[in-house]
Structure 1
Amino acid sequence: MQQIPALAGRKLVFFALAAILLIWAILGLDWWSINRQFSADFTDSSGEFLGVATPSWGFLLFAIGLVVTLLIVEGCRLLFGVRAQANSQLALQRRIIDHASEAMILTDGAQRILTVNAAFEQTTGYAASEVLGQTPTMLSAGHQGLNLHRNIWDFVAENGHWEGEVWDRRKDGTIYPKHMRITAIRDEAGQASHFVATFADISEAKAEAERFDYLAHHDQLTNLPNRLALDGHLETLLDGAVPGINRLALLIIDLDNFKTVNDSLGHHAGDRLLAELARRMGGEMDRATRLFRLGGDEFVVVFDQLDRDAAVTALVDRLARAIGLPCDIDGHTLHCTPSIGISLYPEDGRDGLTLIRNADAAMYAAKAAGRNNHQFFAESMNAAANKRLHLESELWRALAENQLVLHYQPQIDLLNGKVVGVEALVRWAHPLRGMIAPADFIPVAEECGLILPLGHWVLLTACRQVRSWLDAGIDMGEMAVNISAHQFRQPDFVQTVQRVLAETGLPANRLELEITESTVMHGVDSAIQTLAQLKAMGVRLAIDDFGTGYSSLSYLRRFPLDRLKIDRSFLADVDTDPDAASLVTSIVMLGRSLGLQLVAEGVENFAQAEFLRTLECERVQGFHFYQPVSAEEVVGFGRCEEYVALPA
């Protein structure tokens, strides 16, 4: 087909030259005939007439020939110009087609391939010479059947176009998906004379779509299905489930005290721990169970085709054992325990959202029961969960509306009976429910993220109160303030204390920070550095609830402490239990050997006070001496020469 334009050009040149030669031959013949005519008719005439007439006819014929020749040459030039422009446009169109990213096929009305472009050769692996005269069905992958291709072409012949996705086979045998468009080219009679098909390999696009779909439905850290996948899985299961016939269980697994790992060892260690525990739990799954990561340190197990509740309990036991095995993370041996909540279909819910919500309520019940256990959902748990949610909402409002107040419990010097310090204890003065104890709302504040602003408010308010007493000439001794683990582990905690002291103008030695034993034992080196900075400022430091944690004597000696506070749980039976008395005696002796003062909290009767007096424990506090009261009331206690013992 490419030789036709060149052949047409040569023919045009040949005919143009032939026309010019013919015209000049005719003109030459006419000129010769005219000369001969004149020669015959005017032989007797003077040479003067012939000399004038003959040249004039010759000049006229020459002029006519020259004009006609020039017209033919100019016409040929114009035709060659048009032809060159047309060839240029055709060449450009061909280059565009060859450089198109989509493969193209041109077939005749019988679907025989007439031409293909470069993208076709690159996509299919076939050279143009291998497919010319063939039909596109030669590219069929086979597993969809030839009927599909025939049906497509029949549809195009009838409707003029088709677009969709098909699978084809390359020359090397590999099967690939492609998106194809076919358009019919109709002649003047409206019949399909040719077909143009364009297609593109969409293997990478489909792989990318599948990757995005995987990422959308899976957790990147553990590669477990995520919450979105869980919702889809539950919807599929429950759509086909029949209450009374089908049963399933949903387990929510929360790792106890996981935040401690992140806070003490960093999120990298926490991520490694999560990945390891996910691997272990995944090993306990079978055909009837599927593991998901809900988010953070929470996992979900869906137990399909449940036949008896005992199977759930057996699964819980296996999961608890797998989670409880020690994990070596960055040189630290970590032990984890789970709190597991369980809801059942159809008893506890007939849709995924309800099952998740009720299992979550059961999980919180497991935490409230002491952690490291499992609980099946009960309707009463919903009331507790709603109460907790309501309490969380109200707590945010309480801080914004100044509903929180501080009460102060005096610390007594057992040697002289005088008030030597006070401990600030936060209370919630609820407008409807009255005074709420910290044990009822501090855990909620820790879970909902309110503990940081609440703790800062307590520290600032307590320091302002001591400054106010000093300005009024009232000496209540040191102000002890409890510091939460979240506060202590903040990178700017030392700077926060400095700002509070500067803002209130309180001498640093008037402030005592009480930090729990478990707080300082997570990230010991960091804790020692923080305590040393606070100590350098002049702030006094005490370990709260001493004996309830797991601190070792070697670490304890490294902490720059001033006091140990003996937890109230050890004093409960010192007057009746020799073992309890021996334990408290050992703690007092340990503190004294470390050069630390001892403060016993929770002293509630005379016998406990006398026992501590025999041990020469320096300070005590508890209901036997004074209850926590407002700032105005505690001032009166401080002005007494000695304490007034409350009834036992």
Structure 2
Amino acid sequence: MAEWIDPGIEQEKKQDELEELKERLILQQTASFTVEYDLKNRKFYIDPSYKNYIREDWEQDFIRSKEMGRAHRRAVLRQDHEMLDAFFDFSDLKAGDRRIGKARFRIDRHRFEWFRMSLVCEGDAKGEPERVVITFSNVQREIDAMEKVEFLLSQDPLTHLPNRSIFIRKTQQMLKDNPKTLYAFIQMDVDKFHMVNQFFGSKEGDNILRYLGVKIQECMEAMGGCTYCRVSSDTFCLCMPDEQEWIDESVEYIQSSLRSYPIRFETTMSFGVYKMTERDHKKNESVETMMDRARAAQRTVKGNYLKRVAVYNEEFMRQEEMEQMIVSEMKQALREEQFKVYLQPKCDMETGRIIGSEALVRWHHPKHGMISPGKFVPIFERNGFISEVDYYVMENTCKTIRRWLDEGFPVEPISVNVSRMDMYNPRLMENIRDCVSKYRVPHDLIEFELTESAFVFDNAQLTHLAERLQENDFAVLMDDFGSGYSSLNSLREISVDILKIDLKFLPQKREDTRANVILSCIIDMANKLGLEVIVEGVENISQVKFLLSIGCKNAQGFYFHRPMPIDEFEKCMKAEPVPISMRERYRAFRKQR
């Protein structure tokens, strides 16, 4: 009679065999093997496949030592013995505990490779530790791959110097390891590097950067105790002990190395230096901040052929603190209307009559008082906030014009400035039309000033904007005419109604006949083109007389009026205009008194 076999038990047996086979295959594929150790009976089982991966005879070693840790000692690199002893210390092991460790095992006579050790402690029916199962896996390839990835991620692919992120990490560690040493950060770049790429091609530009990388590495490795990197493009950064002799030698070596590069182009570099202070060490100032300070100093000598190196000082610190304050408080200032619109009159020079004005912005800070536009406008232009300020000025100008019209006050056109950033706002014209329509301002009472320097950056955009403004019956003024390198070309391509000539065209000396001729020709050309001309920056009577003599009627400048709050402007508008003859007699009378 055949023996009956429970199909369920048979199925479980097959499943266990499959799992065991699956586990064995996985271990083979992953260069792994297992060791089991009976904690109570001190018996062990070693997967025979270990001989494929480990050189030593563990079975004999275990028979001699009777301890797991000691059995493995001959197979493990001496430096890892302490870690190995801790891993195989089972004195406080509990059922369910898991451990993971890593050690270098001998795979042949002179070679060790990394193995990961994963331990699981299994318990008996009472929950007491009964046996441990340890899986050994060769992870050398994995570690090699990770090290290669880390190396590639830490290295600039072009120059093979450390990149910015690894420079920051290494420098932070260097500062931490040497708390009593003060360091200097040197940031540098190649002046007019874009012209090298333009004239000689990007391949030659890359060759110069590689050459610089080699020279920087040579210099820094010779000194020792330094870090260095390629930050981006043609910008590099060094960090070295703050020894002036070292700094001077490094700058001179790098600069002279670049000069000796075989290319028919004058290649020079500009350098910015930031020297750490005790305060930086105490507050653990970030490496990024100190790099930024070196960069701020470097920008001040960019393109300066007489001075190649700038050192960050207290003035830079004050500027940096002011800039941080401006950026952090600009939005609140706009909400609280700390920005005030000032008007600077434009005058008929003969009669002194105000024929219009320009809307300008001033910041009345509750703590710092009046902040000059020269301090906050460049920052707003860099971070884009200038567009919000420009709209604020335009809206307040429209409000003022509307109020004057409602009160029957005499109104002359007011011009507002359009910044370069504004030109790229696709809703600019829509915003202008909506604002003017909201306050029912006649289009001939608000004008728009476009800076001629913007033509150099994007003449197509500027031309399109001028055309759209004129299509909507707004007058367009070209501000700072003559300050750019393409003044006549911009005048040919951009349709404007009024030219505002830059003060640079005014003769600085009476005998400056060349400036006289140039300015006379500009005025004559504008008159023939039917363009109104306003000369800005007029400050004395000799300038006024000269301008009148060459056919210029209108001007703007401190000789007539400074920028003023709106209430003061209203008083000027109500007052009788002072002709030039009366103005000079009054000034002479005041001097006599």
- Work out whether 1:199 is the aligned partner of 2:137: yes
Contact 1:407 1:425 in 2 (8 A): yes
CA contact (8 A) 2:163 2:231 kept: yes
Q: State the distance in 2 between where 1:135 and 1:596 align.
A: 102
Q: Which amino acid is 2:457 matched to?
A: H
Structure 2 equivalent of residue 301 of structure 1: 238
SS at match of 2:468: helix
**C-alpha distance in structure 2 between counterparts of 1:570 and 1:361, whole Å:** 36
Q: Deviations over 1:219-245 (max 9, x none)?
A: 8999875665334322333345486xx
Give 2:364's aligned residue: 429
Q: Residue 345 of structure 2: SS of its match in structure 1?
A: strand
Counterpart in the other structure of 1:93: 19
Partner SS, residue 429 of structure 1: strand
1:503 equivalent among 438, 448, 451: 438
Q: Deviations over 1:251-296 (max 9, x none)?
A: 24589999xx9xxxxxxxxx99x99997686455224165446689
Selected match of 1:404 from 339, 356, 359: 339
**1:358 and 1:382 in contact (8 A); partners too:** no
Aligned equivalent of 2:174: 237
Please state whether the residue corresponding to 1:457 is helix, strand or coil: helix
- Residues 438-464 of structure 1: CA distance to partner in whole angstroms, max 9, x if unpaired? 223323433454322212211221222
Q: 1:630 to 1:337 in 2, by over 3 A?
A: farther
Aligned to 1:310: 248
> Relative to structure 1, is the Cα distance of residues 506 and 278 closer, same or farther in structure 2, using a 3 angstrom cutoff?
farther
Task: Say if 1:185 and 1:193, in contact at 8 Å, map to a contact too.
Answer: yes
**Rounded Cα–Cα distance in structure 1 between residues aligned with 2:257 and 2:524:** 43
Match of 1:611 among 546, 558, 563: 546
Does structure 1 retain, via aligned residues, the 8 Å contact 2:36–2:133?
yes
Q: Partners in 1 of 2:166 and 2:548 — Cα distance?
A: 63
Q: Displacement, 1:382?
A: 2.9
Q: Give the aligned partner of residue 311 of structure 2.
A: 376
Q: What is the CA deviation profile of residues 125-150 of structure 1, one whole-angstrom value per residue up to 9, with x for unaligned ones?
A: x9xxxx9x99899xxxxxx9844499
- In the other structure, the counterpart of 1:353 is 285
The verdict on how the C-alpha distance between 1:163 and 1:350 changes in structure 2, with shifts beyond 3 A counting, is closer
Q: 1:632 Cα shift?
A: 3.1
1:343 and 1:355 in contact (8 A); partners too: no
- Pick closer, same or farther for the CA change 1:284–1:398 going to 2, 3 Å: farther
Which of 401, 404, 408 is the aligned partner of 1:469? Answer: 404
Deviation of 1:390 (Å)? 3.5
Query: Using the alignment, how far apart are the partners of 1:297 and 1:405 within structure 2?
Result: 42
List runs of 5+ in structure 1 lacking aligned partners.
1-72, 138-143, 262-270, 328-334
Please report the TM-score for the alignment, with normalisation by the length of structure 1.
0.65
CA distance in 1, matches of 2:74, 2:531: 88
Paired AA for residue 557 in structure 1: R
**Does 1:181 pair with 2:108?**
no
Aligned to 1:490: 425
C-alpha distance 426-157 of structure 1, shift in aligned 2 (>3 A) = closer
Amino acid at match of 1:527: L
Query: Residues 343, 81 of structure 1: CA spacing in aligned structure 2 closer, same or farther, 3 A cutoff?
Result: closer
Contact 1:103-1:200 at 8 Å conserved across structures? yes
Partner of 1:633: 568
SS in structure 1 at match of 2:116:
strand
Provide the C-alpha distance between the structure 2 equivalents of 1:369 and 1:561, rounded to a whole number of angstroms: 36
Q: 1:113 to 1:568 in 2, by over 3 A?
A: same
Mapped partners of 2:190, 2:572: distance in 1: 45
1:336-351 paired onto structure 2 within 5 Å: 340-344=271-275, 350=281
Are 1:428 and 1:438, in contact at CA under 8 Å, matched by a contact in 2?
yes
CA RMSD of aligned residues (A): 5.3
Residue 114 to residue 359, structure 1, CA distance change in 2 (3 Å): closer
Describe the superposition over 1:484-516 as per-residue Cα deviations: whole angstroms up to 9, x where unpaired: 222233343333322322222223333222222
SS of residue paired to 2:441 = coil
How do 1:507-526 residues align onto structure 2 when only pairs under 5 Å count?
Answer: 507-526=442-461
Partner of residue 164, structure 1: 101
1:475-624 maps to which residues of 2 (within 5 A)? 475-551=410-486, 553-571=488-506, 573=508, 575-592=510-527, 594-624=529-559
What is the total number of aligned residue pairs between the two structures?
Answer: 532
Q: CA deviation at 1:465?
A: 1.9
Question: What is the aligned partner in structure 2 of residue 45 from structure 1?
Answer: none
Provide, for residues 44-86 of structure 1, a one-character-per-residue CA deviation record: whole Å limited to 9, x for no partner. Answer: xxxxxxxxxxxxxxxxxxxxxxxxxxxxx36x224x8688456
Aligned in 2, Cα 1:584/1:178: closer, same or farther, shift over 3 Å? farther
In 2: Cα distance, 1:326 partner to 1:517 partner: 34
TM-score normalized by structure 2? Answer: 0.70
- The question of whether the paired residues in 2 share the 8 Å contact of 1:532 and 1:560 is answered with yes
1:285 maps to which of 198, 213, 216: 216
SS at match of 2:217: coil
Measured in 1, the distance between the counterparts of 2:477 and 2:548 equals 21
Asked whether the 8 Å contact 1:604–1:624 carries over to 2, the reply is: yes
Q: 2:33 is aligned with what amino acid?
A: I
- Between the aligned partners of 1:146 and 1:286, the Cα distance in structure 2 is 41
CA shift for structure 1 position 557: 0.8
1:422 is displaced (CA, Å) by 0.8
CA contact (8 A) 1:167 1:176 kept: yes
Q: Which has the larger radius of gyration?
A: 1
Determine what percentage of the aligned residue pairs are the same residue: 24
Q: Which segment drifts farther, 428-437 or 555-564? A: 428-437
Contact 1:222–1:278 (8 Å) recurs in 2: yes
Q: Does 1:77 align with 2:14?
A: no
Q: What letter is aligned with 1:506?
A: V
2:481, 2:487 within 8 Å by CA — same for their partners in 1? Answer: no
Q: Where does residue 223 of structure 2 map in the other structure?
A: none
Residue 471 of structure 1 and its aligned partner are, at CA, apart by 3.4
How far did residue 342 of structure 1 move?
Answer: 0.9
Q: Aligned partners of 1:365, 1:193: CA distance in 2, in Å? A: 67
Q: Deviations over 1:285-331 (max 9, x none)?
A: 22416544668997633246854442254267569989xx999xxxx
